[in-house]
Amino acid sequence: MRGKWYILLIGALFLVIVIGYIVKFHGAGDKPKVVVVLQDQDPQYWNIVKAGAEKGFRDFDIDGKVIVPSNELKKDVLERTLKGILNEHPDVLVVSPDGSPAVRSILEKFIENIKGDKGRRC
């Protein structure tokens, strides 16, 4: 049980650090758009992560949202959710681990879009 709390603490700390760097290096006055996609396997763990991310959004004045796809047909729902998010063009996408090849290809498309957007912004 104690090891689980260390993992939660480290995960929350990691999210706060990532969000802090996003705010620091993003243009002043621009609110970065961040989407966090979690899983619902261990509700207590993911509820703590969700609460930490939402607090980070408020504390660092970030336009962010946390999405938890339903547990039914998890892979299909996660794929559809990620495709929808891809169309929103967020600045940062944080996704809980998933080994699906379909999810991996969607995330690779997100990376390509980010690289393309950076070229247009400069």
% of the chain beyond a pLDDT of 70 = 81
Predicted pLDDT of residue 122: 37
Phi and psi at residue 65, to the nearest 5°: -145, 155
Which structural domains are found in the chain, ordered by start?
Answer: 2-121 (3.40.50.2300)
Mean pLDDT of 52-58: 91
Predicted pLDDT of residue 1: 62
Say how far apart CA 24 and CA 30 lie, in whole Å.
11
Predicted pLDDT of residue 22: 67
| Range picked from 14-18, 48-52, 69-73 for highest mean pLDDT | 48-52
Say how far apart CA 52 and CA 62 lie, in whole Å.
13
C-alpha distances (whole Å) from 14 to each of 7, 46, 64, 114 are: 10, 14, 16, 22
Say how far apart CA 108 and CA 80 lie, in whole Å.
15
- Whether the per-residue pLDDT at 83 is higher than 60: the answer is yes
In this structure, the chain runs to a length of 122
Mean pLDDT of 34-59: 86
